[in-house]
Amino acid sequence: MKIGTKILWLLMLTVSLGVISCKKTETPKARITVLNRLDENKPVEKALVTVYANAPEGKVDPYPDGDITRTGVTNSNGQIDFDFPVANILSVIAELPVSDGDTLFGTGVLRLADDETYEETVFLSQYKSQF
The pLDDT value given to residue 30: 95
Can you give the pLDDT at residue 31? 97
**Could you tell me the domains of the chain?**
25-130 (2.60.40.1120)
Sign of CA dihedral 93, 101, 79, 121: positive
SS3 string of 82-95? EECCCCCEEEEEEE
What mean pLDDT value characterizes the chain? 82
Residue-level pLDDT at 5:
74
How far lies 85's CA from each of 44, 74, 97, in Å?
Answer: 27, 21, 30
Q: Report d(CA 9, CA 30) in Å as an integer.
A: 43
30-82 residue pLDDT tens: 999 999 999 999 999 999 999 987 655 555 555 555 556 789 999 999 999 99
